Amino acid sequence: MPEEPEQHDQHEQPEQVERTEQVARVPKAGRSAFSRRAVLGWGGAGLALGAAAGGAVAVLSGASDGDSGAGTGSAVPFHGEHQAGIASAVQDRLHFAAFDVRTEDRAELVRLLKDWTAAARLMTAGLPVGEGGFGGLPEAPPDDTGEALGLSASRLTLTIGFGPGLFARDRFGLEAERPEALVDLEAFPGDNLDAARSGGDLCVQACADDPQVAVHAIRQLARIGFGKVAVRWSQLGFGKTSSTTPDAQTPRNMMGFKDGTRNVSGTDSAALDKHVWAGPDDGSAWMAGGSYLVARRIRMHIETWDRASLQEQEDVFGRDKGKGAPVGKSEERDEPFLKAMKPDAHVRLAHPDSNGGATILRRGYSFTDGTDGLGRLDAGLFFLAYQRDVRKGFIPIQRALARHDALNEYIQHVGSAVFAVPPGVRDKDDWWGRTLLS
């Protein structure tokens, strides 16, 4: 759970609502696209949907009843230089899925990515896929599973990444395109990785303020990809553990400490360019505007932690548990004096000054997944770190933490994956992975 670089005193720009006059969708001739917001009022029996002469009526709505502005209802723009869901304001809920690619046909992979892009473009705008959950032929399955009908966009973002396996020899002819920064992570001291919760050829990160919206998005993509991809593992997350908005209250992790105080700000373009976005001269031109993602499932031994004294807990982190102030300081955002902390304090070891300036952007989430079978909660942190180069970001930080961090007594890394996250979808004709596969 590395500490991030100092935030800058900038305020996030207001979220922009995507106004879609003609939304591209998974093609189906003669079908209409119904807004899931508008469908909220269509539940009464006997309400018929009229068809205009020569074609079906497409009903589009701006927002549902109960939208409360940018916090819960507005749509995050899908198109842009970078994928949304990285520097975007962090939402409250997560559904992350890693997929194995089952098809061996490159053309099928391209078709899948185009179909996924079309569906993502709709869902992030708050619209159902195709004709929705109850349109079309009664004899055929509906285009959309329907559980998000009537819900707002909830600031849904969908972010895709490509794992090392996609670039393997004799698969899709991409071995020469594998970026040098997309390295296989080493085995760090203390790791106890479960292969069933690690790796993947593709990943999709769905973040939203409504958990049903995030789950629906992953479900739709898995459904569209059936036969071509299979879910390898997935993770639900709640209660963001870091923020990209410096003016927002810093969230707390499952150990009760404020986390991500010094995260990269989503409005600090200079820091993003330096530490997060891959550049055209970084070795892989197709990745320019993209980033590299490390995902780690970190189990917390919270029963043991809950029995540690307050002083022990604060010494482990190097911060006050109440305000989150560094040792010897009075306020959370005061500049930490690292030498005042114990040598094995988490903040001291993770700080950029202790790692040659290594800096990452975090979007982690808490999780609880039942029990471990021994009467203890299976709970912890689903750690997500974006950086310009994994070799200069996550790896040096984790090396230091794995060897010396006092927090290791209370945590263990049990899942791991790394992905190349391509640049954003520029317009309605663009698609995920075009710069790599076209």
Which tens digit of pLDDT belongs to each residue from 156-194?
A: 999 999 999 999 999 999 999 999 999 999 999 999 999
Task: Provide the residue type at 375 as one letter.
Answer: G
Give the model's pLDDT for residue 47. Answer: 26
| Tens-digit pLDDT profile for residues 273-300 | 999 999 999 999 999 999 999 999 999 9
What is the structure's pLDDT at 135? Answer: 79
Distances (CA, A) of 167 to 126, 327, 366, 436: 33, 46, 31, 11
Burial readout 28-42 (b: 16 or more C-beta within 10 A, e: otherwise): eeebbbbbbbbbbee
Inter-residue contact 316 to 407 (CB < 8 Å): yes
Instruction: Return the closest-CA partner of residue 18 out of 160, 206, 204, 153.
Output: 153
State the Cα–Cα distance between residues 241 and 44, nearest whole angstrom: 41
Query: For tokens 């995050």, what's the residue?
Result: 76
First to last CA, the chain: 37
- Which DSSP helix (H) or strand (E) runs through 93? strand 93-101
In 3D space, the residue among 257, 219, 30 whose CA is nearest the CA of residue 135 turns out to be: 30
The whole-angstrom separation of Cα 190 and Cα 411 is 9
The per-residue pLDDT for 368 is 97
Whole-angstrom Cα distance, residue 158 to residue 84? 7
The one-letter amino acid code at 128 reads: P
The pair of structure tokens assigned to 52 is: 């205009």
pLDDT at 1: 59
Helix (H), strand (E) at residue 292: strand 291-300
Question: How do the pLDDT tens digits run along the chain, 438 residues long?
Answer: 555 444 443 333 433 333 333 334 444 433 333 444 443 333 333 322 232 223 322 323 333 323 333 445 699 999 999 999 999 999 999 999 999 999 999 999 999 999 999 999 999 999 999 988 887 789 999 999 999 999 999 999 999 999 999 999 999 999 999 999 999 999 999 999 999 999 999 999 999 999 999 999 999 999 999 999 999 999 999 999 888 987 778 889 999 999 878 899 999 999 999 999 999 999 999 999 999 999 999 999 999 999 999 999 999 999 999 999 999 999 999 999 999 999 999 999 999 999 999 999 999 999 999 999 999 999 999 999 999 999 999 999 999 999 999 999 999 999 999 999 999 999 999 999 999 999
Axis crossing angle, helix 106-123 with helix 211-224, rounded to the nearest 10:
150
**58 burial via Cβ count (<10 Å: 0-12, 13-18, 19+):** middle
At 395, list the tokens: 């790896």
The Cβ of residue 374 has, within 10 Å, a number of other Cβ atoms equal to 7
Using CA atoms, how far residue 278 sits from 163, 203, 282, 288, in Å, is: 16, 18, 7, 5
Rg (CA), the chain: 22
Strands (E), 102-191: 157-162
DSSP-based helix, strand, coil % in the chain, nearest 5: 25, 20, 60
CA nearest 192: which of 412, 417, 418?
412
| Helix and strand totals (H; E) in the chain | 8, 9
Query: In 10 A of CB 117, how many CB atoms?
Result: 22
CA distance 50 to 329: 66
Instruction: Say if residue 54 is exposed, middle or buried (CB neighbours under 10 Å; 0-12, 13-18, 19+).
Output: exposed
CA distance 435 to 438: 6
